[in-house]
Amino acid sequence: MGEFVELEINEAIGTIRLGRPPMNALNTQIQEELREAARVAAATPEVRAVIVYGGEKVFAAGADITEFTTTTFQDMTVRAEALSSAFDAVARIPKPVVAAITGYALGGGCELALACDWRVVAADAKLGQPEIKLGIIPGAGGTQRLARLVGPARAKDLIFSGRMVDAEEALRIGLADRVVPAAEVYAAAVELVRPYLTGPALALRAAKQAIDSGLNMDLASGLALESHLFAGLFATEDRVEGTTAFVEKRKPTFTGK
């Protein structure tokens, strides 16, 4: 698909694989290739779940700082929105998405992981938002998604200090969802999404939209969105199959329609 980002499809799992050795530094090119991979994964019916993976050694150790040394305020006012929206494209994939994290997920790498629904983390991995040490702040969703995930006080601790957390702390504060040996990270990510490969794709899509969009609304608006999405699922074949299978006391066979 791109020089640094590939979308590999195998048995209904789309793996967005980063490949810019040695540290998968997220330069402008890889950000745009990531956006395109997310678009294709979202639009491909055969893909029922997505894994974002940086390989066996490292997830992504952050932005390519060499690009920042000559970037002016005027340059970044143009580029900042595109940077954030590239990661947002991953967050908006209307399917279950898991980050499989080995090595380091720092700065933009951590922000990419935050854009996923879950994070499977290697036992020896390190995560963090060290941008403050460069005199800047996270600019691709870190201040927003991290605070929503672990709470504002913990997010401020990590972002103000720029410190890294290990897998044990990440699991304790909710930044990681599963911690496994490094060699088992990708396999554990596959097992996490496997139950959804034969699930009701439209209902899963609606559930993700209701949760993610509802977090940005007041309760009344969120409930209205939920009702709208709930009612819409009564037009799907999977709703007919699911309710019929329940009455007939059998396992449903969903088609994603």
Q: How many CA atoms lie within 13 A of 100 on its CB side?
A: 26
Q: Which of the residues 55, 62, 107, 108 is marked catalytic?
A: 108
Decide if 176 contacts 121 (C-beta within 8 A). Answer: yes
Tokens of 236: 């799907």
State yes or no: is 131 an active-site residue.
yes
State yes or no: is 140 an active-site residue.
no
Q: Which of the residues 41, 61, 111, 199 is marked catalytic?
A: 111
Q: Which of the residues 41, 42, 63, 155 is marked catalytic?
A: 63
Distance CA 156, CA 167 (A): 19
Decide if 155 contacts 146 (C-beta within 8 A). Answer: yes
The Cα diameter of the chain in Å comes to 66
Cα 204 from chain centre: 15
Decide if 164 contacts 128 (C-beta within 8 A). Answer: yes
Cα 107 from chain centre: 14
Q: Which of the residues 86, 89, 131, 256 is marked catalytic?
A: 131
Enumerate the H helices of the chain as residue ranges. 28-43, 73-91, 108-114, 142-150, 152-161, 167-173, 185-193, 201-214, 219-232, 237-247
State yes or no: is 108 an active-site residue.
yes
- Catalytic residues, which ones? 63, 108, 111, 131
